[in-house]
């Protein structure tokens, strides 16, 4: 296979001589993009010929990186949950396209992405969000390679910024009791009780049906999650397969649920406008409760507590889940049990998330074994000559 440079108008072209046409017996030619300078075309010619011979040549395109990302985002809308897609949309339209969108995709270099991550986004976003943006970019560019728009993914070799693992804050037993006592008269007390006593995610609590609560066996089965849809909400699949689980309930939580169900029955009988959704947590008219409404109640309770206890930690609702796990681990509950209650995909996730609690577990385990690895105890009796 041969090629040469030809000038047409004010542009220079790479002309590739292809195999002869089997019908006309005439040699076919492929003219490739216009170069402003002859030396640029000459420099590109060897690489073009090599790619043609390997079958990896990609037709030059004037598509911008922004067009690639916007097409990817539009197509992704039909394959992920709406809430997930909204987070993608925010990253793409707020942080990715405004910074690199105007660059032709064939002119993108690893340096562009390195500067985007380390200089532009690092002062604005967490390392976790930057890693998520990188995942989206990789996926979009990999698809562009598959579709023959570009020959390689130049973002795949970029090193990401490293940051300290984000720490979460939890309450101790005393602080948790203060919160639950303050929340006891709230309309949505059961949501806070379930978060603290079961470690369920907010989305799982808001989607928990009464039918999945067995008061006799003292268990709650998690099989679905509340998700935001384009219009309203959905009761959708859980985060992953391991999130489907049965959680043993404390006796106190079971008692709260019994009282709560009686109240719901009373409301349904008393209020003609009551439209029962069959959920454990629902509004005063029986409809599913949205996350924003729940958060208003949560932070209203916290505000009241902080007025009385100014040093009281203002943790996130999700940190009730972390509080649940931390208190169990500190009490000596095996991490495998904690993993199952939380619905983590593997015990490694649990161990990594709560590694700061584990040193206390080592001390407890050694005390249970004894004074040596064989389980023997050190005698406190003074040795005698016969010993």
pLDDT digits (tens, 9 = 90+) for 120-152: 999 999 898 999 999 999 999 999 888 878 878
Q: How would residue 35 be classed by pLDDT, with cut points 50, 70 and 90?
A: confident
Q: In 3D, which of 204, 229, 217 has the Cα closest to residue 318?
A: 204
Q: DSSP string spanning 7-59? A: EETTEEEEEEEEEEPTTT-PEEEEEEEEESSHHHHHHHHHHHHHHHHHT----
Q: How would residue 155 be classed by pLDDT, with cut points 50, 70 and 90?
A: very high
> What number of other Cβ atoms are within 10 A of residue 375's Cβ?
9
Quickly list H helices, 230-290. 251-270
Give the pLDDT confidence of 339-384 residue by residue, as tens digits: 999 999 899 999 888 887 766 666 666 666 666 666 566 665 555 4
Strands 233-236 and 225-228, by their bridges, are antiparallel
The predicted pLDDT at position 113 comes to 97
Mean pLDDT along residues 250-265: 96
Instruction: Indicate the DSSP class of residue 125.
Output: S
Residues 6 or more apart in contact with residue 11 via CB below 8 angstroms:
34, 35, 36
Tell me which residue has tokens 């105890």. 377
> If you average pLDDT over every residue of the chain, what do you get?
86
The predicted pLDDT at position 186 comes to 96
The predicted pLDDT at position 73 comes to 95
Report the percentage of the chain scoring pLDDT > 90. 57
Tell me how long the chain is: 387
Least confidently predicted of 84-88, 195-199, 281-285, 317-321: 84-88
The predicted pLDDT at position 238 comes to 58
385 pLDDT exceeds 50? no
Least confidently predicted of 89-93, 203-207, 357-361: 357-361
CATH architecture of residue range(s) 65-146: Orthogonal Bundle (1.10)
CB 50 within 8 A of CB 66: no
The predicted pLDDT at position 366 comes to 64
218 pLDDT exceeds 60? yes
Residues 6 or more apart in contact with residue 361 via CB below 8 angstroms:
329, 332, 335
- Which tops the pLDDT comparison, 385 or 366? 366
Give the pLDDT confidence of 57-81 residue by residue, as tens digits: 656 667 899 999 999 999 998 888 8
270/341 Cα distance (integer angstroms): 36
Q: How would residue 386 be classed by pLDDT, with cut points 50, 70 and 90?
A: very low
The predicted pLDDT at position 134 comes to 97
Tokens of 77: 């809308």
Per-domain residue ranges of the chain: 2-54, 65-146, 173-363
315/100 Cα distance (integer angstroms): 36
Q: Quote the distance between the C-alpha of residue 374 and its chain's center.
A: 44
CATH architecture of residue range(s) 173-363: Orthogonal Bundle (1.10)
Q: How many CA atoms lie within 13 A of 383 on its CB side?
A: 4
pTM: 0.70
Tell me which residue has tokens 């064939």. 106
Give the pLDDT confidence of 281-335 residue by residue, as tens digits: 999 999 999 999 999 999 999 999 999 999 999 999 999 999 999 999 988 888 9
Report the percentage of the chain scoring pLDDT > 70. 82
Tokens of 42: 């000459």
- Residue 5's φ and ψ, nearest 5 degrees, are -105, 135
């Amino acid at each position: 296979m041969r090629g040469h440079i030809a000038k047409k108008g004010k542009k220079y072209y790479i002309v590739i001589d292809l195999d002869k046409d089997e019908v006309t017996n005439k040699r076919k030619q492929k003219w490739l993009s216009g170069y402003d300078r002859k030396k640029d075309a000459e420099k590109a010619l060897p690489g073009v010929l090599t790619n043609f011979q390997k079958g990896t040549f990609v037709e030059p395109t004037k598509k911008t990186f922004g067009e690639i990302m916007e097409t990817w985002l539009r197509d992704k809308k039909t394959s992920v949950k709406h809430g997930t897609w909204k987070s993608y949309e925010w990253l793409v339209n707020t942080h990715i396209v405004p910074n690199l969108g105007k660059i032709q995709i064939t002119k993108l270099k690893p340096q562009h992405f390195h500067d985007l991550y380390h200089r532009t986004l690092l002062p604005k976003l967490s390392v976790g969000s930057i890693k998520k943006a990188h995942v989206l970019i990789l996926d979009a560019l990999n698809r562009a390679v598959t579709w023959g728009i570009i020959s390689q993914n130049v973002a795949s070799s970029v090193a990401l910024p490293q940051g300290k693992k984000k720490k979460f804050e939890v309450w101790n037993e005393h602080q948790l009791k203060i919160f639950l006592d303050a929340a006891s008269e709230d309309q949505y007390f059961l949501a806070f009780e379930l978060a603290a006593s079961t470690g369920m995610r907010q989305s799982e609590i808001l989607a928990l049906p009464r039918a999945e609560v067995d008061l006799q066996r003292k268990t709650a089965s998690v099989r679905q999650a509340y998700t935001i849809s384009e219009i309203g909400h959905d009761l959708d699949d859980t985060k992953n397969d391991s999130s489907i689980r049965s959680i043993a309930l404390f006796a106190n939580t079971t008692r709260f649920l019994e009282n709560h169900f009686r109240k719901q029955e009373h409301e349904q009988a008393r209020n003609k406008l009551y439209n029962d959704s069959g959920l454990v947590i629902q509004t005063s008219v029986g409809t599913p409760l949205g996350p924003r409404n729940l958060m208003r109640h949560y932070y209203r309770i916290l505000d009241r507590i902080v007025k009385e206890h100014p040093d009281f930690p203002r943790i996130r609702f999700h940190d009730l889940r972390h509080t649940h796990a931390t208190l169990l681990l500190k009490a000596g509950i095996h991490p495998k049990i904690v993993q199952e209650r939380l619905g983590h995909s593997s015990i490694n996730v649990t161990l990594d998330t709560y590694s700061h609690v584990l040193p206390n577990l080592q001390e407890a385990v050694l005390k249970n074994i004894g004074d040596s690895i064989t389980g023997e105890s050190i005698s406190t009796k003074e040795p005698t000559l016969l010993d």
